[in-house]
């Protein structure tokens, strides 16, 4: 019963995220009422506030950042459609910059690449070939995150608002899924003799790793 409730909750979260992205795209391209616009802006900030309240050690610092982000986002949203687009684009950029930093810092010499660590949590000791592959995969995810940021910036600067919003809001989740599925298919073909881990197992390992590996006190 608990497992069924857990899957239902995850499904609702996925559909909720998809619905949110569609509403944001609609708000940028077609415009929405003031109440809808404010709700769409506040939701990501509420998630940020939850993280600060439950996970961060330096709550005063991050609550200050939260208030600054909220004020800046609100002021941007009151400007033209371009300002509204920037208000919605900032969370996209911040999320991918954070992921780029989170993955990229583990590629520094002397550290274990993030995906190598996740694979070790699932399979135990890794063969040399798989260890090299997980390092390259960590780098590939960094390229993906950087590509999201760069493409978003270029489209915002040179393409139409509709095209930019289509990429940032509607293609964001499918591209992420495509990256997961593409890597999984490549892995089971290229490393077919090694133990397999499903996409969901990988996601659970990432979640468990985030709970187990806490940042040093005073850093976050």
Q: Over the stretch 175-196, which tens digit does the pLDDT of each residue have?
A: 998 998 898 888 888 877 776 6
Tell me whether residue 205 is in a domain: yes
| Residue of 71, 108, 109, 106 lying closest to 90 (CA atoms) | 71
DSSP H/E element including 47: helix 34-55
Tell me whether residue 219 is in a domain: no
Res. 163 pLDDT band, cuts 50 70 90:
very high
pLDDT at residue 64 above 90? Answer: no
pLDDT at residue 51 above 80? Answer: no
pLDDT at residue 5 above 50? Answer: yes
Tell me whether residue 220 is in a domain: no
Cβ-contact 171, 21 below 8 angstroms: no
Per the structure, the complete domain to which residue 82 belongs is given by 2-212
Supply the pLDDT for residue 108. Answer: 92
Cβ-contact 71, 102 below 8 angstroms: no
Supply the pLDDT for residue 122. Answer: 78
Residue with tokens 């499903």: 198
Tell me whether residue 143 is in a domain: yes
Tell me whether residue 90 is in a domain: yes
pLDDT at residue 209 above 70? Answer: no
Cβ-contact 180, 39 below 8 angstroms: no
Supply the pLDDT for residue 218. Answer: 39
pLDDT at residue 215 above 50? Answer: no
Instruction: Please count the structural domains in the chain.
Output: 1
Mean pLDDT of the chain: 78
């Amino acid at each position: 019963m608990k497992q069924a409730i857990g899957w239902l909750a995850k499904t609702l979260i996925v559909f909720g995220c998809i619905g949110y992205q569609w509403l944001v795209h609609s708000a940028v391209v077609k415009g929405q009422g003031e109440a809808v616009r404010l709700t769409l802006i506040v939701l990501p900030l509420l998630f940020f506030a939850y993280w600060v309240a439950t996970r961060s050690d330096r709550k005063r610092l991050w609550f200050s950042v939260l208030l600054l982000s909220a004020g800046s986002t609100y002021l941007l949203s009151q400007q033209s459609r371009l300002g509204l687009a920037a208000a919605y684009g900032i969370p996209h950029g911040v999320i991918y910059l954070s992921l780029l930093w989170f993955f990229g810092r583990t590629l520094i010499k002397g550290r274990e690449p993030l995906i190598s660590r996740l694979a070790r949590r699932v399979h135990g000791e890794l063969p040399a070939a798989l260890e090299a592959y997980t390092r390259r995969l960590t780098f590939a995810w960094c390229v993906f995150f950087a590509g999201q940021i760069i493409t978003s910036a270029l489209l915002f600067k040179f393409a139409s608002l509709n095209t930019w919003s289509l990429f940032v809001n509607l293609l964001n989740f499918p591209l992420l899924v495509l990256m997961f599925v593409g890597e999984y298919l490549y892995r089971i073909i290229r490393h077919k003799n090694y133990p397999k881990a499903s996409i969901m197992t990988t996601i659970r390992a990432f979640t468990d790793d985030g709970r187990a590996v806490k940042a040093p006190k005073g850093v976050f």
